[in-house]
Amino acid sequence: MLRRPRKPRVFFLVMGLSVLLSAQGIGQEKITKYLRFRVGRTAAYGILEGDVVRQLKGNLFGKWQPTDQTYPLKEVRILVPSPRPSKVIALAGNYKDHLGDKEPPKTPEPFFKLPSCLLRHGGRIIQPKDHAPVHYEAELVVVIGKRAKKVSPEQALDFVLGITCGNDISARDWQSNDVQWWRAKGSDTFGPVGPYIVSGLDYNNLTMELRVNGEVRQKTNTKNQIHNLAQTISFISNRVTLNPGDLIFTGTPGMTKGMEIGDTVEVEIEGVGILRNKLVAEK
């Protein structure tokens, strides 16, 4: 009888080590959820560990380290992920189903939102008195992690700290009739973002959904973007230097509608979380 040759013991050791490393996530990019939060008078960054927030010491966009201080997530107030970005940029027409019969743009079409429009998770979107109901726009938002100037598409994702959920609130009458979109897209509270900054995901293959009072109004996958994150970051950085903490809204899918006072709007991105805000009337 012929005997099957024995595999070297080294083979089994290597295979065992491979399984162990895989089980521990070693050799794979780790998914991390960061958040900026407030407890009492303390405002800080933290890492979400289940339902617990571990406070960080240092600069999230530089050097930092975890501390022993933790808080239950339910006891913290989640803040805007990037408090003082030098710029907030958004893309127009980056999903084919949002363009209707229009030709897709050959290059990304960025415009500026104002940093002062940013609104935290749980904050209230203000419906202007002198305008028709504002529209929602679910968007994946890029959070820049380090200075990016004239970077190639191949390098671009190295400059990303992570992504978060965004809602590009839009006043359509002003958008159509004003020369610039400064108030249509940049009025106070027109830029909800959050709740977390998440790294380690496949940013170009994530389900994104928007709901109004629980009803699904928008749904897509980020793989349907006309220009992906790397192309967008490279294009922008070749004309505008991106700094740590800068935000890029990457476009919205499908059709949008005006909301009613009291509506609760949620943007959910796979692996990131749910950004929830309520529309209220201007006083």
Using the predicted structure, report yes or no on whether residue 11 has a pLDDT greater than 80.
no
Using the predicted structure, report yes or no on whether residue 128 has a pLDDT greater than 60.
yes
The contacts of residue 76 (CB under 8 Å, 6+ apart) are 37, 38, 39, 46, 53
Average pLDDT over residues 121-126: 98
Q: What is the pLDDT of residues 233-283, one digit of tens each?
A: 999 999 999 999 999 999 999 999 999 999 999 999 999 999 999 999 999
Task: Report the alpha-carbon distance of residue 144 to residue 163 in Å, rounded.
Answer: 9
SS3 of residue 87 by DSSP: coil
Reported pTM: 0.89
Q: What is the pLDDT of residues 151-173, one digit of tens each?
A: 999 999 999 999 999 999 999 99
Q: Which domains does the chain have, with CATH numbers?
A: 30-79 (2.30.30.370), 88-281 (3.90.850.10)
pLDDT of residue 17: 35
Tell me the pairing of strands 215-221 and 207-212: antiparallel
Task: Report the alpha-carbon distance of residue 202 to residue 24 in Å, rounded.
Answer: 19
In Å, what is the CA distance from 36 to each residue of 10, 23, 74, 97?
Answer: 47, 30, 14, 34
Nearest CA among 122, 144, 138 for reference residue 259: 138
pLDDT of residue 21: 35
In Å, what is the CA distance from 137 to each residue of 187, 200, 258, 270?
Answer: 15, 24, 10, 17
Q: What is the pLDDT of residues 72-118, one digit of tens each?
A: 999 999 999 998 999 999 999 999 999 988 899 999 999 999 999 99
- For 48, phi then psi, to 5°, come to -85, 125
In Å, what is the CA distance from 118 to each residue of 7, 23, 90, 93, 195?
Answer: 61, 39, 13, 21, 12
Percent of the chain with pLDDT over 70: 90
Q: What is the pLDDT of residues 184-213, one digit of tens each?
A: 999 999 999 999 999 999 999 999 999 999
pLDDT of residue 161: 98
Task: Report the alpha-carbon distance of residue 193 to residue 117 in Å, rounded.
Answer: 10
Residue 248 sits at the vertex; the CA angle it makes with 263 and 131, to the nearest 5 degrees, is 35
- For 230, phi then psi, to 5°, come to -65, -45
Instruction: Give the pLDDT band of residue 12 (cuts 50, 70, 90).
Output: very low
Using the predicted structure, report yes or no on whether residue 26 has a pLDDT greater than 50.
no
Q: Where are the alpha helices (DSSP H) in the chain?
A: 9-24, 96-99, 153-156, 172-177, 182-186, 229-237
The contacts of residue 31 (CB under 8 Å, 6+ apart) are 198, 199, 200, 201, 271
Task: Report the alpha-carbon distance of residue 2 to residue 8 in Å, rounded.
Answer: 18
pLDDT of residue 101: 85
pLDDT of residue 191: 98
Tokens for 147? 């200075």
Task: Report the alpha-carbon distance of residue 37 to residue 195 in Å, rounded.
Answer: 10
pLDDT of residue 221: 98
- For 33, phi then psi, to 5°, come to -110, 115
Instruction: Give the pLDDT band of residue 130 (cuts 50, 70, 90).
Output: very high
SS3 of residue 80 by DSSP: coil
pLDDT of residue 15: 36
Task: Report the alpha-carbon distance of residue 128 to residue 173 in Å, rounded.
Answer: 12
Specify the DSSP class assigned to residue 10.
Answer: H
Nearest CA among 232, 194, 274 for reference residue 90: 232
